[in-house]
Amino acid sequence: MQNRGALWIFTILLALACAYQLSFSFFTSRLEKKARAEAELKADSLMDANSGEKMDRGSLVLDFENAILRSRGEEKVYPVLGYTYRECKEKEINLGLDLKGGMAVTLEVSIPELVENLSENSADPGFTAAMASARQRQRSSDADFITLFGEEYEKVPNKAPLSAIFYSPDRQAIFEREGSDADYLDALRTEAEAALNNTERILRTRIDKFGVAQPSIQKQQFSGRIMIELPGVKDKERVRRVLQSTANLEFWETYENPDIGPVLDQVNGPLSAMLHPELASADTAKADTLSTDAMVADTTALADDIAAADTSDLAGDSLGLPVDSAALRADAEKKAPLASKLMLMVDQRGWMRGPTVGRANLKDTAEVNRLLAMDVVKSALPVDAKLAWGAKHEDVTLVNGSAAQLLDLYVLQVPRGGKPKLDGSSISSASQDFDMKGSVEVRMQMNADGAQTWKVMTGDNVGKSIAIVLDGLVYSAPVVQEILGGRSSISLGSGNLNKQIQEAEDLANILKAGALPAPARIIDETVVGPSLGERT
C-alpha cells in the first residue's frame, strides 16, 4: 500500500510537471495564431495594393508573422505567472526540426583567411607557398590548419622568421616582436580559437535578433565548424545573408567618373592588342580605342533598341539586333574588350559626374573583373584608385524580351596606408528607418571617435560622394550636402517594400551584433519539413 501510494504521488507530480511544461506551448500558440491571422491580413492587403507586382504570399505571410512576433516579444502572455512571450518560448518544450520543421546549417570558419589577414596578405614567397601546401593538405588531414601551416613553413628553404611576416606595431598585443616561430604558431592558434568563439557569440546574437525560437548552436572546436538548427525557418536566402555576412563596414572617399572614365576608355586599345594581336595593324590601331564621341553615338544607337534603360549587354543578338549587327558586335568585342562588357558613364554632354564609372550585366561581371585585373589596366589607373561593385542590381527588359541585371561599378579613393578612414568599429547603434522620401534605410549612430572622423570626412567632401561599403560591395554613395557628426545611413534603394524593411532590419541587427572575425561559409544546409523525416 505504501509503495502504491508513493507511485500515485509520483504519477501526480509527473503529470503536474508535464502540464506545467506544456502550458508554455499553450500560451505561445495562442499569440502565434493571432500573429498568423494578422500577418495573412497584412499580406493580402499588400498584394491587393500592388496587384500589378508579382509577390509570393507565403513568404510575405512568414515575414509579417516573424516581424509581429518580434515586436510582441515582451508582451505578457502567461497571465498567472506573468511570463512574456519570449520567456515562454525559452521554457516551452523544444520539438526539434523533425517535428517542427526548419533549417539546419553547418558553417565553417575560414582559419586560412584569418591567418592571411593577420599577415596583412603577405606576398612573401615562403609564406604563400606554405599556405598553399597547408590548404592542400587540409582537404585530407585531420590536423588543424595552424599545425599544417607550421609543418609546411618549416620545409621552406632560407625562410624568413614568422616575426618578419606577422609582426607590426598594430599587432604587438598579439605577437611578441622577438618571439620564435613556435611562439608565433601558438599565438595563431590562440587567435584561431578566439575567432571561433567570437563567431559563435556573434552568430548567437544575430540569431536572437532574427526572431527564431529555441535555436540550437553547437561549436566544434577542433574542426572550426558551427552547427546551427533554426526551427520554423525556411527562407534559405535570408539565412545565408544573416549568417554569412562578415559585416565589414567601411566608409570610403571616391573619385569622380571624369577622372577615371577616360582611362578605362583608353585601355581598350592595349587590351585588344594583347588579347587579339591579329587585329593589331597600322590600319586598325586607330579604331582599337573608342573615343568619347564614338561611345556617345554608340550609346545613343543602343538606347533605341533597349526597352527599359541603358544596358551594358552588348552581345549582339541578345539585344534583339539583326544578325549583321550581331556580327558587328562580335568584331567590336575584339576591338574594345572592356567597352563591350562595361558601358562607361558618358552621355551627349560628356563624362557624367559621380563615383559610378560604368554598368555591366550581372552575368558579365566575372569577365569585367578579369579584364580589370590585367596589368595593362591596373598600371593605367591611379595607384590610389580601387574599383568596387554595387550591392544591388537593376532589372531591365531588352527589346527581345530577355532580362538583364545591371550592376554599377564604383571607383573608391584609397588613403595613405590602404585602409578606409572610418569603419564599422565606430558604429554604436543601428536601426531600420525611412528617409525623407519614404525609402527604406538603415540609420547608424557613431561613437565619439567615429563621429569626429566622420565630421572631418564630410567636411572635406561637401558636394562629393562618400561610398558606404559592406563586405566589399557599395550599398550607397550619397553626395555630402552638409557636415555631419555621428550620423550616417545606408539606403536600400527601390524594390519590394516589405522585403526592403526585412533586409534593413537584418542589416541593422548584423551591424549591432558586430563583424565576424573571420569569414564563415555555409558548407551544408538542409530544409526539414514539419513531418518527421520529411525533407524538402
Query: Residue 369's pLDDT is what?
Result: 92
Q: In the structure grid, which three cell numbers stand for residue 302, read together?
A: 543602343
For 109-118, what is the mean pLDDT?
90
Q: Examine the pLDDT at 428 and tell me if it is beyond 80.
A: yes
Residues in the chain: 536
Indicate the domain borders of the chain.
Answer: 2-93, 106-246+520-528, 254-415, 421-515
Q: What is the DSSP letter of 471?
A: T
Q: Examine the pLDDT at 282 and tell me if it is beyond 60.
A: no
Rounded to an integer, what distance in angstroms lies between the CA atom of residue 385 and that of residue 406? Answer: 22
Asked if residue 159 lies in contact with residue 153, where contact means CB atoms within 8 angstroms, the answer is: yes
Does an H or E element contain 442, and which?
Answer: strand 440-446
Q: Examine the pLDDT at 149 and tell me if it is beyond 80.
A: yes
Q: Under DSSP, is residue 524 helix (H, G, I), strand (E, B) or coil?
A: strand
Instruction: For residue 186, count other CB atoms closer than 10 A to its CB.
Output: 14
More reliable by pLDDT, 167 or 54: 167
Q: Examine the pLDDT at 211 and tell me if it is beyond 80.
A: no
Rounded to an integer, what distance in angstroms lies between the CA atom of residue 263 and that of residue 470? Answer: 27
Which tens digit of pLDDT belongs to each residue from 377-402? 999 999 999 999 998 888 887 666 77
Q: For residue 230, what are the β-bridge partners? A: 103
Query: Residue 137's pLDDT is what?
Result: 92
CA-based nearest residue to 233, from 243, 225, 219, 224: 243
Mean pLDDT score of the chain:
79
| Amino acid present at 332 | A
Instruction: For residue 259, count other CB atoms closer than 10 A to its CB.
Output: 15
More reliable by pLDDT, 63 or 121: 121
CATH (residue range 421-515)? 3.30.1360.200
Q: What is the DSSP letter of 160?
A: P
| Amino acid present at 491 | S
Query: Residue 241's pLDDT is what?
Result: 81
Q: Are strands 385-397 and 403-413 parallel, antiparallel or unpaired?
A: antiparallel
At 308, the pLDDT band (50, 70, 90 cuts) reads very low
Write 452-459 long-range contacts (CB < 8 A, 24+).
Answer: 452/485, 453/421, 453/422, 453/426, 454/251, 454/422, 454/426, 454/484, 454/485, 454/486, 454/487, 454/488, 455/483, 455/484, 455/485, 455/486, 457/251, 457/253, 457/421, 457/422, 458/482, 458/483, 458/484, 459/483
Asked if residue 215 lies in contact with residue 230, where contact means CB atoms within 8 angstroms, the answer is: yes
Which tens digit of pLDDT belongs to each residue from 73-113? 778 878 777 888 777 776 666 555 555 667 888 888 889 98
What's phi and psi for 397, nearest 5 deg? -110, 125
- Burial string for 481-498 (b: 16+ CB within 10 Å, else e) reads eeebebebbbbbeeebeb
Query: Residue 336's pLDDT is what?
Result: 85
% pLDDT > 90, the chain: 22
Rounded to an integer, what distance in angstroms lies between the CA atom of residue 167 and that of residue 235? Answer: 43
More reliable by pLDDT, 383 or 40: 383
Q: Which residue has the cell 498584394?
A: 47
Q: Which residue has the cell 590536423?
A: 143
At 326, the pLDDT band (50, 70, 90 cuts) reads low
At 284, the pLDDT band (50, 70, 90 cuts) reads very low
Q: Which residue has the cell 618578419?
A: 164
With 0-12 CB in 10 A as exposed, 13-18 as middle and 19+ as buried, what is 530? middle
